[in-house]
Amino acid sequence: MIEIQVTITNTSGLHARPAAQFVQKAAAFKSKVKIAANNKVADGKSILAVMSMGLKQNTQITITTEGEDEKECSKALEDMIKSKFGEE
């Protein structure tokens, strides 16, 4: 199991498009993905769960990956968030 902390830095937070990108990227891996922030935990492979988190700019989240490709998965998700989902 790998746990990383990353801050949502894109201006509009994890709204529909970046949430969909996150879920698609997470779904490409076999590992389980969880997102935790603001005392909530969500399945990182569920668009509804990710959207319901209401993650805004400057929110620090914890991403937990667990499975055979957890290292690659956590790195890919972290890189996507740090790139601001290509929005800026």
15 catalytic residue (yes or no) = yes
Q: What is the DSSP letter of 38?
A: T
Residues in the chain: 88
Q: Which of 2, 4, 9, 15 is catalytic?
A: 15
Nearest-angstrom CA–CA distance, 12 and 28: 24
Contact (CB, 8 A) for 77 and 25? yes
| Positions marked catalytic | 15
